[in-house]
């Protein structure tokens, strides 16, 4: 594969570790998609009555003790619990043990928009109520976003490049793209990469509610996230995480790994326009998609499915539609495009990683999930959004988009071209 700059090594996705409101682990997530389940509920983890939005996609069935030993579960906050648990799930799914990896050639790349903000909020409350002696002394190392990748590295013993980016809702996708670079350029052979978010606390939740970015459809939680629909009124916040195991091709094949897909293209750009409003014509989002295609060595005609950012906000959905049309041309009207946030909510920096995992399952399991709650397309939303009912389909090359506050655009291309005949998991 070529990106116009250098030849690079091929990067394979061999493990998935999703923690979402609609399911934890590969099989639970897939069954939630197939059953058209929504993880959106009334908020119960704190009192949301002061806010105009009182719904979210909580991961209610997550028990840290199911994935971590008791000591780790006690000393880590929810954000970091999600991080380590998702990484362990992904390694288990990949049938890969840390001991079988050269630790100095194993990277950790994670994305999170808000890091340990909920822990920081709680410790501030403790301070205001009881003074400094009531503050958890671990707060300094639990609230910064880098705790995610650092704790994963410690848990796995991985000593290669380690980073957590905080590029809003594109963070998980950017983390996957940067892990792709590290393996492609020969710096690492293996990477754990993805996104994590635990934002369901009054200040962080309320901040988005105050600016009216979130849906106020409190009477109908399951119907509140409505990508591309005429009556969409904002996103629905979610929490969760997803880690993916990326391996250099020969490393994966040498151990007989099951391969979901090749991660073969990545692009990222910035609107340089506004913190919350995307460029109406989506030209920089389109450029990120084109970069990903070019670096994958693929043409628009080869893309069979797009997992859209599809945040259910009025401006984002329409500008993303324009961007998809710009990047893919007339082919855009022939490709199924779906938004899966009605299932798992908008888990901010974790969303792109969750959606990349969903793309892997779409390619290997032969079914395209629908965009739920799409009853009447909004103005300018004129693509095939797979409204409300999924359909059979086994795409060979897909695109996954993330578009974040600050005008951060990121796009991935995943492919099974060249090894379509290999049996995929769960086919």
Residues 6+ apart with CB under 8 A from 98: 91, 106, 156, 157, 158
Tell me the average pLDDT across 180-194.
98
Contact of 208 with 24, CB cutoff 8 Å: no
Using CB atoms within 10 Å of the CB of residue 276, give its burial: 0 to 12 exposed, 13 to 18 middle, 19+ buried. middle
Q: Which residue has the tokens 């409350």?
A: 125
264-281: per-residue pLDDT in tens? 999 999 999 999 999 999
Tell me the two tokens of residue 287. 């450029």
Tell me the two tokens of residue 74. 């006690």
Determine the Cα–Cα distance for residues 386 and 379; give it in Å rounded to an integer.
Answer: 17
34-79: per-residue pLDDT in tens? 999 999 999 999 999 999 999 999 999 999 999 999 988 988 999 9
Q: Where are the beta strands (DSSP E) in 21-72?
A: 23-24, 41-42, 55-56
Q: What is the pLDDT of residue 422?
A: 55
Tell me the average pLDDT across 176-189.
98
Instruction: Give the pLDDT band of residue 142 (cuts 50, 70, 90).
Output: confident
Q: What is the pLDDT of residue 140?
A: 85
Tell me the average pLDDT across 337-354.
98
346-367: per-residue pLDDT in tens? 999 999 999 999 999 999 999 9
Q: What is the pLDDT of residue 72?
A: 87
Determine the Cα–Cα distance for residues 237 and 71; give it in Å rounded to an integer.
Answer: 30
Determine the Cα–Cα distance for residues 192 and 97; give it in Å rounded to an integer.
Answer: 12
CA distances to 51, 59, 125, 292 from 39, rounded to whole Å, are: 20, 8, 29, 31
CA distances to 155, 343, 387 from 114, rounded to whole Å, are: 22, 21, 31
Instruction: Give the pLDDT band of residue 418 (cuts 50, 70, 90).
Output: confident
Q: Is the pLDDT of residue 166 over 70?
A: yes
Question: With pLDDT > 90 as the criterion, what percentage of the chain qualifies?
Answer: 91
Q: Which neighbouring-strand residues pair with 130? A: none
Q: Is the pLDDT of residue 291 over 70?
A: yes
Could you tell me which of 374, 168, 394, 354 has the C-alpha nearest to residue 278?
Answer: 168
Tell me the average pLDDT across 117-129.
91
Tell me the average pLDDT across 157-169.
98
Tell me the average pLDDT across 104-133.
94
Determine the Cα–Cα distance for residues 179 and 256; give it in Å rounded to an integer.
Answer: 21
Q: What is the pLDDT of residue 201?
A: 95
Q: Is the pLDDT of residue 6 over 60?
A: no
Domains delineated in the chain: 11-415 (3.40.47.10)
Q: Is the pLDDT of residue 198 over 50?
A: yes
Q: Where are the beta strands (DSSP E) in 115-236?
A: 162-165, 190-197
Q: What is the pLDDT of residue 5?
A: 38
Q: Is the pLDDT of residue 7 over 90?
A: no
Question: With pLDDT > 70 as the criterion, what percentage of the chain qualifies?
Answer: 96
Q: Is the pLDDT of residue 426 over 90?
A: no
What are φ and ψ of residue 361, in 5° steps? -70, -35
373-392: per-residue pLDDT in tens? 999 999 999 999 999 999 99
Using CB atoms within 10 Å of the CB of residue 384, give its burial: 0 to 12 exposed, 13 to 18 middle, 19+ buried. middle
First to last CA, the chain: 27
**Dihedral in degrees, nearest 10, Cα atoms 299, 301, 305, 308:** 60
Tell me which DSSP letter residue 1 carries: -
Instruction: Give the pLDDT band of residue 135 (cuts 50, 70, 90).
Output: very high
Active site amino acids: 169, 309, 346
């Amino acid at each position: 594969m070529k990106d116009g700059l250098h030849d690079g090594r091929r990067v394979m996705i061999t493990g998935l570790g999703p923690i979402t409101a609609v399911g934890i682990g590969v099989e639970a997530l897939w069954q939630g998609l197939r059953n058209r389940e929504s993880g959106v509920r009334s908020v119960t983890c704190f009192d949301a009555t002061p806010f105009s939005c009182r719904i979210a996609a909580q991961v209610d069935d997550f028990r840290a003790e199911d994935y971590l030993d008791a000591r780790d579960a006690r000393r880590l906050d929810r954000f970091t619990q999600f991080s380590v648990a998702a990484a362990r799930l992904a390694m288990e799914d990949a049938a890969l043990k840390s001991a079988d990896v050269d630790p100095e050639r194993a990277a950790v790349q994670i994305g999170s928009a808000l890091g340990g903000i909920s822990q920081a909020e709680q410790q501030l409350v403790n301070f205001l109520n009881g003074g400094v002696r009531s503050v958890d002394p671990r707060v300094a190392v639990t609230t910064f976003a880098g705790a995610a990748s650092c704790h994963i590295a410690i848990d796995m013993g991985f000593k290669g490049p380690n980073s957590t980016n905080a590029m809003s809702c594109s963070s998980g996708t950017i983390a996957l793209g940067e892990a792709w670079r590290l393996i492609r350029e020969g710096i690492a052979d293996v990477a754990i990469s993805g996104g994590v978010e635990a934002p369901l606390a009054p200040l962080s939740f309320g901040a988005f509610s105050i600016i009216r970015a979130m849906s106020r459809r409190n009477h109908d939680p399951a119907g509140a996230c409505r990508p591309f629909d005429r009556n969409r009124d904002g996103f629905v916040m979610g929490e969760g995480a997803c880690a993916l195991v990326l391996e250099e091709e020969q490393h994966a094949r040498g151990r007989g790994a099951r391969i979901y897909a090749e991660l073969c293209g990545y692009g990222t750009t910035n609107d340089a326009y506004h913190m919350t409003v995307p460029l109406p014509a989506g030209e920089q989002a389109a450029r990120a998609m084109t970069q990903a295609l070019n670096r994958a060595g693929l043409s628009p005609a080869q893309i069979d499915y797009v997992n859209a950012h599809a945040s259910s906000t009025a401006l984002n959905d329409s500008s993303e539609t324009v961007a998809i049309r710009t990047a893919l041309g007339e082919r855009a009207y022939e490709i199924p495009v779906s938004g899966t946030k009605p299932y798992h909510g908008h888990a901010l920096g974790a969303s792109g990683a969750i959606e990349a995992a969903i793309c892997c399952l779409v390619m290997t399991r032969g079914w395209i999930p629908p965009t739920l709650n799409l009853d009447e397309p909004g103005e300018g939303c004129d693509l095939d959004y797979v409204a409300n009912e999924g359909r059979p389909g086994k795409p060979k090359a897909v695109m996954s988009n993330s578009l974040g506050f600050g005008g951060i655009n990121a796009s991935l291309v995943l492919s099974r071209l060249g090894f379509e005949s290999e049996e995929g998991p769960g086919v």
